Amino acid sequence: MNSSGKDDDVTIQFRNCRRFLDGKIVSNQQLLVRNGKIIDPEPVFYCEKKKPTTVVDCKNALLVPGFIDVQINGGYGFDFSSDPTKVAEAVSVVSKGLLSTGVTSFCPTLVTSPPELYKKVLPQLSRRPGSRAGAAVLGAHVEGPFINPEKKGAHPPEHMLTFAKGPGVLEEVYGSLEHVAMITLAPELPGAEQAVEFLAQRRVVVSVGHSSGSLEQGEAAVVAGASFITHLFNAMLPFHHRDPGLVGLLTSKVVPRPVYYGIISDGVHTHPAALRIAHRTHPGGLVLITDAMAALGLGEGEHNIGQLAVEVRGRRAFLPGTDTLAGSIATMDECIRRFIKAAGVSLEEGVRAATEHPARLLGLATTKGSLVAGADADFVMLGDDGDTLGNVDVMRTFIAGQCVYERPGLPALQTWTC
């Protein structure tokens, strides 16, 4: 027994499956789980000489890593930025709802908000493991208020700030950064380079976005420590042949390391041709995000994103009375399907963009985004035809090796005890 009273020898074998391994789909596989972690079967069978405690017959289903969403503003009627008294409920409802979409971990995202809101909300978005209660929280993604009003999107300009006081203003606004995984800022703001260095030293992922910045300003931010571009093509200068803007970071020869970039592949925010251009230019950096808001999982009507009202018409969310997009209502499994079809890529590439790439961006590659030994046993079971182009059919979602979501109407998994 360990200190928690659990038997360390309890081992679950997922047998007769296709497994996503090293970026490829491999047939006739097994997945061995102990204490919520994936383990190497060889020491168990050949050194320990032990049989698994429980065997699960996957019936040739495809097992892929749990999806990771690094930018999601809310869902199922709740918004993370609207009311501090409802944030705990919002996290509970959204994290539970995401399980049906294959998402096993996420970064709840705050849009630009009144200064007093951050210190009330961020402690409620602290990192926590996933369970039957919902997907894991990886820390908050704070999108603003240090962004450019010229590219505000669905952010209220009256609450936007600058770095005039120096990088110390970050802690003045957010309070402790311990609950923050990522911050989006505009690299052209005076003092942005110093702010990026300040955040990078504290291991906060810095993203550039909501910006009118030039390529040169974007490159300076990346040299200082930024590593992500928030929803590429959206809320930034359009590509121009004399100054490609932040889009040019995908091919920059100045930056010291490859840059990751978010894509909202919902069929609304990014034209399929633009998506193909980005992918073919820098495939290893593409990170699928939903940028979903409170209307996710609901129908048409009026909803909120942060302090602003949003009107959902069809599959699009707008600021009322305008054609300005205000987040999406897409799920991650839908984004993967649309990415596969729009970019003409394989299922493997689609899955990597929602698993391996965001895990690497957040510095979690050893525990999230893969099904290798030592990683968390967070995975999604896709249907028998899950390797067909564009078919991402979530049958079951597992966290720490335990089934936390099962699509209604499925026959029970065949299991037995050895």
Residue 412 CB contacts under 8 Å (≥ 6 apart), including other chains: none
Number of neighbours of residue 362 by Cβ within 10 angstroms: 24
User: Is 326 annotated for ligand binding?
Assistant: yes
User: Is 269 annotated for ligand binding?
Assistant: yes
User: Is 135 annotated for ligand binding?
Assistant: no
User: Is 159 annotated for ligand binding?
Assistant: no
Q: Which helix (H) or strand (E) holds 98?
A: helix 87-98
* d(C-alpha 302, C-alpha 288), whole Å: 26
* d(C-alpha 48, C-alpha 42), whole Å: 9
* d(C-alpha 287, C-alpha 339), whole Å: 11
* d(C-alpha 205, C-alpha 196), whole Å: 9
User: Is 143 annotated for ligand binding?
Assistant: yes
Residue 48 CB contacts under 8 Å (≥ 6 apart), including other chains: none
Mutual angle of helices 347-354 and 332-343, in 10-degree steps: 140
User: Is 354 annotated for ligand binding?
Assistant: no
User: Is 279 annotated for ligand binding?
Assistant: no
Q: Is 291 a catalytic residue?
A: yes
Q: Which helix (H) or strand (E) holds 404?
A: strand 402-406
* d(C-alpha 405, C-alpha 384), whole Å: 17
* d(C-alpha 61, C-alpha 82), whole Å: 40
Please identify which of the residues 69, 79, 266, 291 carries the catalytic annotation: 291
User: Is 316 annotated for ligand binding?
Assistant: no
Q: Which of 274, 271, 268 is nearest to 318 (CA)?
A: 268
* d(C-alpha 109, C-alpha 79), whole Å: 9
DSSP 180: E
* d(C-alpha 47, C-alpha 134), whole Å: 36
Mutual angle of helices 192-201 and 215-224, in 10-degree steps: 30
User: Is 296 annotated for ligand binding?
Assistant: no
Measured in degrees and rounded to the nearest 5, phi and psi for residue 385 equal -105, 30
Residues marked as binding for Zn(2+)?
A: 143, 210, 231
Catalytic residue positions, numbered: 291
Residues marked as binding for substrate?
A: 154, 234-235, 242, 269, 325-327
